[in-house]
Amino acid sequence: MASDEYGLYHTRLTHSLKVAQLGRRAAERLRDEYRSVRAVPPAANEIEPPDPDLVEAACLAHDIGHPPFGHIGEETLCCAFDRLACERNDPPIAYDEPLAEIDPLSADQLKVARRGGFEGNAQTFRVLDFLSARLPGYDDVGLNLTNATLDAATKYPWLRVGTKTARTKWGAVDLDAGRLKAIRGAAGVKTTAKKSFEAQLMDYCDDVTYAVHDVVDFYRSGFIPLHRLFALSGGPKHRSLSEEGETFLNRFLAANPKAGRTTARRAWIVLAQLSDFNSAWDPTSRIKAETQSATSEMITYFLDGLSFEGEPCRHDGKLLKDKDPAKARQKEMAIDILKYMLRSHVIDSVKLRTLQHGQAVIVETLLETYVKKPKMLPVDRQDELKRHRDTLRAAADFVASLTEPDAQLLFRRLTGEQMGALTDAVV
């Protein structure tokens, strides 16, 4: 959805603020649990893990690299970047650290993938560590964050390609590969190792916030009939789904064949009991209060029971969604169900597809234009281009930094649809 549809949908800013709120609360609880089980008392001035400040910082930063128009903008930039890299026939970047065998590539595909591509999480790392300007005289430190903060904000601490393979998600582009390796090396791990504990916690809070708040957003807008999907009948021990809920559950299972029916049904009933949506959305005080209460109940369900295995610090621990493996799997299933609701009722809808087509045209046109005419890039992007000499990357950095209104305005100006005036405020 467009980020300027205020008042109804969460934006990336409000989403990030809520992820940060959830992340800090979860970190505080896990730190209290760690204090209760550690054998040796903390030393003076020791920061006990997990550090809530560190987790909160990672949560606030996790989406900062996403381009205009959300995931469709990200997908379009990646595809267009790869196509333009292939057309330019640039030499591939040489990486010396092979990855696990994932998605085998042909020689031609590997050559394109080694250009680094575009990925929202990798762009977050690039913004934090290079593109942001904070210290005069230091052009290559970004926000000058600690290694721990950068590591915690990195969901996918590996590069896109290995010797013969590529990943669908990665944490740094070609120009930033050395910095990612250095940060991971300072922590004593490789770029092929698992994400840090703080990053695991940030990732889970992101999943929970996205799934719950986006589903509720589209219930409020009339896209998702939660009051019908989550309707239950029968006694406490024998709850039955509504006909519409049963049909949707079957569709979910067909789309996720590895999901067990029993676990999925239990997760569905838990969500239905927590949500308690009694009627279609109507902006009355009663329904607004019911919706807020249901949202809070679902968030609490996903947060309660969080624990850890090992030490909840950097790379020594594993986040447990619940100490009980069956309950942990049920929570994961519940998140998958909510995400599938979004896909089936919103993302795959014809209305959104037509909207996304237009958004993709804007993003691809802007990228192509600035690659062909880099002299039109803003002064700060010109400065960065002089340092790394990669026109395609400079164009992608600029397009990714645009707000949605800016992207639409520039598209209209560059295509001649709406010329405007020389004195207009335009990026």
Report how far residue 97's alpha carbon sits from residue 93's, in angstroms, rounded to the nearest whole number. Answer: 12
Closest to 205 in 3D by CA, of 9, 1, 15, 11: 15
pTM (whole model) above 0.75: yes
pLDDT of 114 reads 65
- Strand, coil or helix: 297: helix
- Residue bearing the bigger pLDDT, 159 or 152: 152
pLDDT of 296 reads 94
pLDDT of 6 reads 42
In the chain, what is the greatest distance between 2 CA atoms, to the nearest angstrom? 70
pLDDT of 235 reads 59
Question: Could you say which DSSP state residue 307 is in?
Answer: E
Is the separation of the CB atoms in 62 and 23 below 8 Å?
no
Closest to 36 in 3D by CA, of 301, 304, 312: 312
C-alpha distances out from residue 48 to 31, 139, 334, 342, Å: 7, 33, 31, 38
Task: Report the mean per-residue pLDDT for the chain.
Answer: 86
Q: Is the peptide bond before 50 cis (omega within 30 degrees of 0)?
A: yes
Q: Mean pLDDT throughout 237-252? A: 86
Residue 162's pLDDT band (cuts 50, 70, 90): low
List, for residues 288-331, the tens digit of each pLDDT value: 898 999 999 999 999 999 999 988 887 888 999 999 999 999 99
pLDDT of 310 reads 87
How many percent of the chain have pLDDT more than 70? 87
Report how far residue 397's alpha carbon sits from residue 1's, in angstroms, rounded to the nearest whole number. Answer: 22
Q: Mean pLDDT throughout 247-252? A: 93
Least-confidence region, from 44-48, 64-68, 202-206: 44-48
pLDDT of 427 reads 59
Whether 7 has a pLDDT exceeding 80, the answer reads no
Q: How many CB atoms lie within 10 A of CB 427?
A: 12
Residue 122's pLDDT band (cuts 50, 70, 90): very high
Q: Mean pLDDT throughout 226-246? A: 82
pLDDT of 98 reads 38
Whether 397 has a pLDDT exceeding 80, the answer reads yes
How do strand 307-310 and strand 317-320 relate by DSSP bridges? antiparallel
Q: How many CB atoms lie within 10 A of CB 125?
A: 30
- Residue bearing the bigger pLDDT, 180 or 97: 180
List, for residues 357-370, the tens digit of each pLDDT value: 999 999 999 999 99
Closest to 239 in 3D by CA, of 230, 247, 248: 230
Q: Is the peptide bond before 378 cis (omega within 30 degrees of 0)?
A: no
pLDDT of 210 reads 94
pLDDT of 314 reads 77
Q: Give me the residue spans of the domains in the chain.
A: 12-50+196-348
- Residue bearing the bigger pLDDT, 331 or 48: 331
List, for residues 254-268, the tens digit of each pLDDT value: 999 889 899 999 999
pLDDT of 112 reads 65
pLDDT of 352 reads 83
SS (H, E, C) 214-267: HHHHHHHCCCCCHHHHCCEECCCCCCEECHHHHHHHHHHHHHCCCCCHHHHHHH
pLDDT of 408 reads 94
Is the separation of the CB atoms in 163 and 199 below 8 Å?
no
Residues 6+ apart with CB under 8 A from 362: 68, 69, 407, 408, 411
- Residue bearing the bigger pLDDT, 92 or 189: 189
Q: Mean pLDDT throughout 66-76? A: 92
Residue 5 backbone dihedrals phi, psi, to 5 degrees:
-85, 70
pLDDT of 106 reads 63
Report how far residue 5's alpha carbon sits from residue 244's, in angstroms, rounded to the nearest whole number. Answer: 30
List, for residues 327-353, the tens digit of each pLDDT value: 999 999 999 999 999 999 988 888 888
Helices (H) and strands (E) in the chain, counts: 17, 4
Residue 266 backbone dihedrals phi, psi, to 5 degrees:
-65, -40
Residues 6+ apart with CB under 8 A from 170: 117, 119, 121, 122, 156, 158, 159, 160
Whether 94 has a pLDDT exceeding 50, the answer reads no
- Residue bearing the bigger pLDDT, 73 or 241: 73
Beta strands in 262-417 (DSSP E): 307-310, 317-320
Q: Let me know if 375 is exposed, middle or buried by CB neighbors in 10 A (0-12, 13-18, 19+).
A: exposed
Residue 140's pLDDT band (cuts 50, 70, 90): confident
Q: Mean pLDDT throughout 57-72? A: 94
